[in-house]
Structure 1
């Protein structure tokens, strides 16, 4: 195995070392998952982007969800139910259109958060809804796929009639776990209400020996 660096790789390493030598004093100190990035962290992120060492990304990853949505739309166009396409079912088509609207709203909200971060501001409520919005929308896309497939939507493992190798069923269960993991949807809604809308904290259950 050849572990030597190419001339291009060596030049890139020297470029990075020169950058770090010149700007290491601007790197943010400490760590932790702060709810709001410090001005120091925002300035460092801007510096990395300006020099090509980091890329701007939209929170919530709407690109991945858009790919899933397009796959769902294609599924509904090609699969049939009875004498017609699934897409011709007005109830399922209406659900698909609502998901498309929610996906667009999520993308524009992510751009708002990204713009605020790039300008050193705080997106406030827009930032707080990203996780809840992304997790629930992903789950709703998979749920519609399973509903649209009808009886085929409950198949798993090695059935000859399985669609997409069971990817929709696996995604449905995995995304349900994401809604629960890292803070359930209910906890996320509490955070949005208390920190974003300024509503009073949820009351604690009182007991004979104190409050839980």
Structure 2
């Protein structure tokens, strides 16, 4: 059965909708994957994360020992992500979820007991320390080194594009431990205490005017031996396994597109062209209709991808196709919205004369990031061609 179909899931969706409406943070989430802008929003995010775990809407796929739900229906995770997106509420930090799945799958009992309860309580946020300046789409080329020094590890290197790095207590770190091994084999996973000496977090101010990403510098950072997750050299497997658990965001992405179309229709009725609402013009209605049709197609593609994954018969190209379609369509919607607004599209958030409070400008400035983050569109096309269609490299 497809996600969101059937009476049990419909009842569950109504329950989640009521919960999210009652408990979501007061501030509306901005476009994209964003970090808290101040301490108040950070504390709200902690509280919101804790509420979702406490209610069983997050972490239901964890082992029962650590708070999971026996017989968990994985389709429910899709519903939760969709309802959070529909409420325009912030998503809980993905770094925490990725780290939790790495610990559940490969961590020691001591590591689980120390960290999983504080992820559930929202006390500790985690960031994902994977990408580097010269190792983004080709992650296996990372050069951050972890060298064994007695009963400790000494880490040197740099990470970048680290979402929530400035707020995180721990980092889920990939580092090279065997420089002589093939590049996919010489990587290990570690728990990094972000408060350790030698860890420097430098927020990156983006074109949106906010700092959602960070650079993280690691200079002779000393980690205890028990910071290693899993076996030595197992980092690539651990990373891919934890990433494969995160499929709920596909449905949430489609909801964001559907909301964008709703916003576009609303604002097209407010904008005036030749003295009339823009929505009364045939060409405007036709363009919005075309974009709406593409959103419907994207929804079907995402649903097929999720259904195939849950049934265990998906193609390696499914998720890349859904990601590629979403990110490029999201950009086209934002571009058209700014074109429709004309000169008013230059007005920033907070300007009292800005249509939709300047939302479209922020959405447009962030939209390009979606075509790069999580694998650029060029890389996605290569994956689809090679793994999905069997074409040569």
Is the pair's TM-score, using the shorter chain for normalization, greater than 0.5?
A: yes
- The structural deviation recorded for 1:19 is 7.7
> Is residue 315–residue 388 contact of structure 2 (8 Å, CA) maintained in 1?
no
Question: Aligned partners of 1:158 and 1:168: how far apart in 2?
Answer: 12
The aligned counterpart of 1:61 is 253
Task: Provide structure 1 residue ranges, at least 5 long, that are not aligned to the other structure.
Answer: 1-8, 10-14, 46-54, 202-212
The aligned counterpart of 2:388 is 196
Question: Aligned partners of 1:18 and 1:197: how far apart in 2?
Answer: 40
> Is residue 132–residue 179 contact of structure 1 (8 Å, CA) maintained in 2?
yes
For residue 279 of structure 2, the aligned residue among 80, 87, 94 is 87
The aligned counterpart of 1:76 is 268
> Is residue 36–residue 122 contact of structure 1 (8 Å, CA) maintained in 2?
no
Question: Aligned partners of 1:35 and 1:81: how far apart in 2?
Answer: 50
Q: State the Cα deviation string for residues 83-138 of structure 1 (Å, max 9, x = none).
A: 22211233332221111111111111111112112222224433321111111111
Task: Provide structure 2 residue ranges, at least 5 long, that are not aligned to the other structure.
Answer: 1-53, 55-62, 72-100, 107-237
Q: State the Cα deviation string for residues 30-50 of structure 1 (Å, max 9, x = none).
A: 43125995xxx7xxx9xxxxx
The aligned counterpart of 1:113 is 305
> Is residue 334–residue 364 contact of structure 2 (8 Å, CA) maintained in 1?
yes
Structure 1 SS opposite 2:239: coil
Question: Aligned partners of 1:180 and 1:138: how far apart in 2?
Answer: 13
The verdict on how the C-alpha distance between 1:195 and 1:18 changes in structure 2, with shifts beyond 3 A counting, is closer
Query: In the alignment, is residue 177 of structure 1 matched against residue 369 of structure 2?
Result: yes
- The structural deviation recorded for 1:18 is 9.0
TM-score scaled by length of structure 1: 0.67
Structure 1 SS opposite 2:371: helix
Question: Aligned partners of 1:62 and 1:105: how far apart in 2?
Answer: 10
Query: In the alignment, is residue 17 of structure 1 matched against residue 75 of structure 2?
Result: no
Which sits farther off after the overlay, 27-36 or 165-174?
Answer: 27-36
Question: Aligned partners of 2:375 and 2:249: how far apart in 1?
Answer: 23
Question: Aligned partners of 2:327 and 2:250: how far apart in 1?
Answer: 15
The verdict on how the C-alpha distance between 1:35 and 1:185 changes in structure 2, with shifts beyond 3 A counting, is farther
Count of aligned positions: 169
The aligned counterpart of 1:206 is none
Q: State the Cα deviation string for residues 55-80 of structure 1 (Å, max 9, x = none).
A: 96654621122111111111112321
The verdict on how the C-alpha distance between 1:18 and 1:197 changes in structure 2, with shifts beyond 3 A counting, is closer
Question: Aligned partners of 2:365 and 2:248: how far apart in 1?
Answer: 30
> Is residue 139–residue 176 contact of structure 1 (8 Å, CA) maintained in 2?
yes
The aligned counterpart of 2:295 is 103
RMSD across aligned positions (CA) = 3.3
TM-score scaled by length of structure 2: 0.38
> Is residue 267–residue 356 contact of structure 2 (8 Å, CA) maintained in 1?
no
The aligned counterpart of 1:33 is 240
Within 5 A, what are the aligned runs for 1:1-12?
none
Structure 1 SS opposite 2:309: helix
The aligned counterpart of 1:48 is none
